[in-house]
Amino acid sequence: MVVTLGIFRFTKFMNQIINEPVKVAGVFKHSLFKPVWFEWSNQRLKISKITFITDYKQGLVKHKIYSVIAQGNLYRLLFNTNNLDWTLESVWLDG
């Protein structure tokens, strides 16, 4: 749902916490990893846009977060650089 008030546009989204392991495939370009698709709930979701990348440390473990758009929804993928596991943390659904 999109509401326009003057020059401002407001979109209503619903955040859903997932915290499930996923498979992620991507490419390296200039030594940076770019995710291309991920598998979740027996579906392969093609990433159309990467909106944000950041990293943080939790103790000695470095995590990398990718916010991506796939099939019109915003997903937050977490990569654990210690054990090389991927987790789908959350999804923002248009609602």
pLDDT digits (tens, 9 = 90+) for 33-87: 999 999 999 999 999 999 999 999 999 999 999 999 999 899 999 999 999 999 9
Tokens of 58: 């939790």
Tokens of 35: 């995710």
**Predicted model pTM:** 0.84
Q: Flag whether pLDDT at 17 surpasses 50.
A: yes
pLDDT score for 11? 62
- State how far the Cα of 1 lies from the Cα of 66, in Å rounded to an integer: 25
**Averaged pLDDT for residues 25-31:** 94
The sign of the CA dihedral 31, 38, 58, 60 is negative
User: Taking a C-beta distance cutoff of 8 angstroms, is the pair 86, 21 a contact?
Assistant: yes
